[in-house]
Amino acid sequence: MKQKIIGGLLLLACTFTAVQAQRTTFLKINEILVINEDNFEDDYGNKFPWIEIYNASPGTVDIAGCFLTNDMNDPRKYPIPKGDVLTKIKPRQHVLFWADNMPTRGTFHVNFMLDPEQPNFIALFDSDGHTLIDSITVPAGQQPDISYGLIEDGWSTARLAEELHLNSTYKEKNGSELWIYFKKVTPSSNNKILDTNEKIEKFKKNDQAGVGMTLTAMAVVFIGLLLLFLFFKLIGNIAVALSHKRAMKASGVSREEAKDIIQTSGDIYAAIAMAIYEATELHDEENTILTIKNTARIYSPWNSKIYTLRETPVKK
């Protein structure tokens, strides 16, 4: 029994390790800045070269235990420490490592630097120290504050080829290179940041006077009002129908009898109304006789004006 339990735990551990290893394959070296003169600062206020890692998976990936290196012959050069919650990269998010050769300053400060005059090889190895996750060689001759990164976050050669095949205008707008230079560097952020809205820019170009915008806004308002009118009219018709139904039920009138009443000519109702008026409102000659009746009045001496004050009292 104990052997089965131990075997199950080992199988579970192996499965978890395999899943974790599989998820680390989604990590990508996303952007590198070799010469940092007037760019992003580290948590000590210093400007050093930095390496950005991107998590392209739909789940959180812990980069702790993996290795960063700038030497292919030394794949375990910088072991990323475990136990730091910041090593857990959320889906579609980034983490930044500083190439300052000061690992004592924290988890994200590696033990090597980048040479601005030479090509810089950078690689990310899995926790076994042998499985290569991703690597890139940054060309020599980098310019200050101009980064070298993927054209889109986490893209591969296959993903770029797919986009070029499906989108005929992508090459004209962005080119066909997977790694490009960014004058506007984006540490810990998306490589491609849209400063403008393409649809709005096209609208401004094609409708400079704003006529189309005005007509569109008016059309939206009128369509909304029309829909409201139809909606309330429908609700009103339903309410009237229910009211008629309740009235017929209270009067004991069937639907066929109600239809006959509705179809009755208006002249008939007019004649009936005149007959009722003549029977109730018109009188005989008695309405021309004037009748006078005496009205009894009760006299009180207090009603006489002689008992009221005629002079203003003199104040002493």
Q: Return mean pLDDT, the chain.
A: 82
Single-letter code of the amino acid located at 145 = D
Mean pLDDT for the stretch of residues 240-249: 81
pLDDT above 80 (res 233): yes
Mean pLDDT for the stretch of residues 212-237: 90
Mean pLDDT for the stretch of residues 225-248: 88
List of residues 6+ apart from 180 with CB closer than 8 A: 148, 149, 150, 151
Confidence band, pLDDT 50/70/90 cuts, at residue 184: confident
Q: List where CATH 2.60.40.1260 sits in the chain.
A: 2-195
pLDDT recorded at residue 229: 93
pLDDT above 50 (res 18): no
Q: Are the CB atoms for 111 and 103 separated by under 8 Å? A: yes
Q: What is the pLDDT of residues 123-159, one digit of tens each?
A: 999 999 999 999 999 999 999 999 999 999 999 999 9
Gyration radius (Cα) of the chain, Å? 46
Lowest-pLDDT range of 48-62, 126-140, 246-260, 285-299: 285-299
Instruction: Kindly state the tokens that stand for 122.
Output: 């950078």
Q: What is the pLDDT of residues 109-121, one digit of tens each?
A: 999 999 999 999 9
Cα 165 to Cα 144: distance, rounded to the nearest angstrom? 34
Of 170, 187, 21, the C-alpha closest to 108 is: 187
Confidence band, pLDDT 50/70/90 cuts, at residue 79: very high
Question: Which has more confidence, 149 or 169?
Answer: 149
State the architecture of 2-195 in CATH terms. Answer: Sandwich (2.60)
pLDDT recorded at residue 250: 78
Percentage of residues of the chain with pLDDT beyond 70 = 73
Of 106, 107, 104, 122, the C-alpha closest to 49 is: 122
